[in-house]
Chain A
Amino acid sequence: MDAIKTVDLTKKYKDLTAVDGLNLTVRQGELLSLLGVNGAGKTTTIKMLTGLTRPTSGDAFLNGKSILTDTAAVKAMIAVSPQETAVAPNLTVRENLELMAGVHGFQKPEARDKATDLTGRFGLGTVANKRAGKLSGGWQRRLSIAMALIGGPQILFLDEPTLGLDVLARSELWEMIRALRGSMTVILTTHYMEEAEALSGRVAIMRSGRLLTAGTPQEIKRQAGTDKFDEAFVRIVKEAAQ
């Protein structure tokens, strides 16, 4: 079964069509990067897939469950790490993790165990008792992804996970995201071409709400006739604009 299958997924805001008849399939365990310039429709697509926005028309199926009719089942299988840092600032790192375990219905002892496990996996041990609001951007992003994982999602959405981070923090997060490959389906949006190329099994490029192409980074480069991924992206987007 496909992890995600969108069928003519469309979102319109008055005169603006943010996503226009999107048909995209993502296989289970795949890490797919959604690329596009600002206003391409990436965030709106993620908002629809995660139940934050209702499509104007079309539907999407997450592990066979419709985002329109099986919202509760969809919410139980997904997790999101939003673009902005989404942590409770006055709670410690450990408390943030336990909160997310709690809202996913885990009892206290299990929530505690899960928090301990993720604290270890994400190297958050040294800051576990620090308030999240006092952490640097890199640590907050790390925590944000760990919070997304605590419910054991089958599909994880990472919206610009390394935006604004320094090179070192970014490379550390890349390692963590790489480690997730195969264990769950990951949809990642990013503006960094090298990030998409380094992490993704497949890449989907959007422009003005439409899907331009989808394939492995190699296929995309071949399609654009270049061996540089960022150049391939620019060529495909510019070609579509003409």
Chain B
Amino acid sequence: MKVLAFSKRNDLEVLRDPLNLIFGVGFPIVLLLLLTAIQRNIPVPMFAIDHLAPGIAVFGLSFMTLFSATLIAKDRGSAFLQRLYTTPLTAADFILGYLLPVLPIAVAQSAICCGAAVLLGLKVTVHLVSAVLFTIPTALLFVSLGLLCGSIFTDKQVGGICGALLTNLTAWLSGIWFDLGMVGGAFQKIANLLPFVHAVELERAVLRGDYAGVFPHIWWVTGYAAAVTAIAVFAFLRQMKRQ
């Protein structure tokens, strides 16, 4: 009950911020529309809707880090979190309360992205539902990154690090906009060592019904998600102790 009350509050804080709705839902849909329009005039296989939609869904999830980190950093900066530290809420309540409410928002965002892609010509298949469900590990990765950044940085720093740096890293190193093989070399090697391209490839495989093709990408994503979650929990507990 206690954790539910706290989760509900975090949910409302995220959903009632108009900037979150603009960036979380509006921006990915605008990108889909824009790139689909380009594709209609100058056909590029990269921007075919079944290839593009999974990438945009993953890119949209990177904003979850910004939402989650901003909420936590603002709470830390104000006396609100200190007030809550004097209540019977436990450390586990705080961590779950920050992680859990953003996950359904992330899944809903992916569903909206897939819905928009259907309107733009993506075939309706059962794999669409799977594609939305398979975003959960990626969503956990980005939400945990939010918990980590929110526990370390101030709300102003979070804006730059999660809003600019992370979204750019996700965009450039995920193979959404261009084939990483065209750049090759160290760039491709680095991209393959990071989880973003694997998250996109995982989604693409699920969407085309190639469930064998989710491997090894799902291991990369779940591995990163588990590691980042563990580090984020440690960072949050450390700042909690310091406060």
Report A's interface with B, CB cutoff 8 A. 50-52, 72, 75-76, 78-91, 95, 98-107, 111, 131, 147-148, 151
Contact = CB atoms under 8 A, between A and B. Distances in A.
A90 B17 contact: yes
Most buried by B among A88, A103, A151: A103
Contact of A91 (B12, B78, B93): B12
B22 interface: no
Interface in B64-93: 78-80, 82-89, 93
B5 A102 contact: yes
Most buried by A among B8, B16, B17, B88: B88
Contacts of A103: 2, 5-6, 84, 87-89, 93
Given A75-B88, A103-B2, A103-B89, A88 B82 contact: no
Contacts of B17: 90
A99 B5 contact: yes
Contacts of B119: none
Interface size class of B (residues with CB under 8 A): 20 to 34
Contacts of B2: 102-105
A99 B9 contact: yes
Contacts of B88: 72, 75-76, 103-105
Given A52-B86, A99-B5, A103-B6, A87 B80 contact: yes
A46 to B, nearest CB: 10
A108 to B, nearest CB: 9
Nearest to B75: A88
B96 interface: no
B79 A85 contact: yes
Contacts of B80: 86-88
Most buried by A among B2, B4, B79, B83: B83
29 contacts: A50-B86, A51-B86, A52-B82, A52-B86, A72-B88, A76-B88, A78-B86, A80-B86, A81-B83, A85-B79, A86-B82, A86-B83, A88-B12, A90-B12, A90-B17, A91-B9, A91-B12, A95-B9, A98-B5, A100-B87, A101-B5, A102-B2, A103-B5, A103-B84, A104-B87, A105-B1, A105-B88, A107-B1, A148-B83
Q: What are the 3 A-B residue pairs with the smallest beta carbon separation, nearest first?
A: A102-B5, A82-B79, A86-B79
Nearest to A101: B5
Most buried by B among A81, A83, A89: A89
B41 interface: no
A78 B80 CA distance: 16
B232 to A, nearest CB: 22
B210 interface: no
A75 B89 CA distance: 9
B8 A82 contact: no
Nearest to B90: A72
A52 B85 contact: yes
Nearest to B15: A90
Contacts of A76: 88
B16 A90 contact: yes
Interface string B7-24: 011001100110000000
B16 A84 contact: no
Contact of B1 (A90, A95, A102): A102
A37 B27 CA distance: 51
Contacts of B87: 75, 79, 100, 103-104, 151
Nearest to A106: B1
A98 B1 CA distance: 12
B13 A52 contact: no
A84 B13 contact: no
Contacts of B6: 99, 102-103
A91 B86 contact: no
B206 to A, nearest CB: 35
A91 B2 CA distance: 17
Interface string B29-68: 0000000000000000000000000000000000000000
Contacts of A90: 12-13, 16-17
Contacts of B93: 103
